[in-house]
Amino acid sequence: MFIGSYRHQVDAKGRVAVPAQLRKGMPPGSVVAIGAEGRLVIRPPDEWSAMEQRFRLTADTPAEERRYLRALYASAREVDLDAQGRLLLGDEHRRWAGIADRAVFVGLGNVVEVVGEEAWDRENAELDPAAFTALGDRVGTTSSAGAGPAQRPQA
């Protein structure tokens, strides 16, 4: 399970240390690709495979889904850490996620998001206890204690 947020310096070559707390849960074959809201998403192989199963390109695939798949797969790179546990983020990935000098790694349970520090700070500046509670109420947490998401009915 990936949890926590971690800030790391990006060097001149675009390398950034993947936090040890996240790296230990990241098996070989993990994939980094663009994600929603200007994020990069690192998925372990099982999560990448599950996503591949949801989005299968067929003759009947709608044009919008094909466009999404092209962008996603074109941006995907296998996570290849060097001996110091650093990940090389290419120019396209850094631009997508607004990463300049520092990156923030955020564990989201089954995946890790990576975003530029300025974007992370800007988004979280608005999040105080009242805003967090209201957000939790809108997305359906089960209690004010933050016990987790409510069970949703199966379709």
Is position 111 within any domain? Answer: yes
Is position 150 within any domain? Answer: no
Is position 153 within any domain? Answer: no
Q: What percent of the chain has pLDDT over 90?
A: 73
Give the pLDDT confidence score for residue 143 in this predicted structure.
Answer: 53
More confident residue, 68 or 44: 44
Res. 94: pLDDT tops 90: yes
Per-residue pLDDT of 104-113, as tens digits, reads 999 999 999 9
Mean pLDDT of 2-16: 97
How many domains is the chain built from? 1
Res. 153: pLDDT tops 50: no
What's the domain range around 30?
5-139
One-letter amino acid for residue 19 of the chain: P
Give the pLDDT confidence score for residue 30 in this predicted structure.
Answer: 97
Mean pLDDT of 130-154: 68
Sequential DSSP letters for the chain = -B--EEEEEB-TTSEEEPPHHHHTT--TT-EEEEEGGGEEEEE-HHHHHHHHHHS---TT--HHHHHHHHHHHHH-EE--B-TTSEEEPPHHHHHHHT-SSEEEEEE-BS-EEEEEHHHHHHHHHT--HHHHHHHHHHHTBSSTT---BPPPPP-
Mean pLDDT of the residues in the chain = 89
Q: What is the pTM of this model?
A: 0.85
Give the pLDDT confidence score for residue 66 in this predicted structure.
Answer: 85
CATH code of the domain containing 57: 3.40.1550.20
Give the pLDDT confidence score for residue 142 in this predicted structure.
Answer: 55
Res. 51: pLDDT tops 80: yes
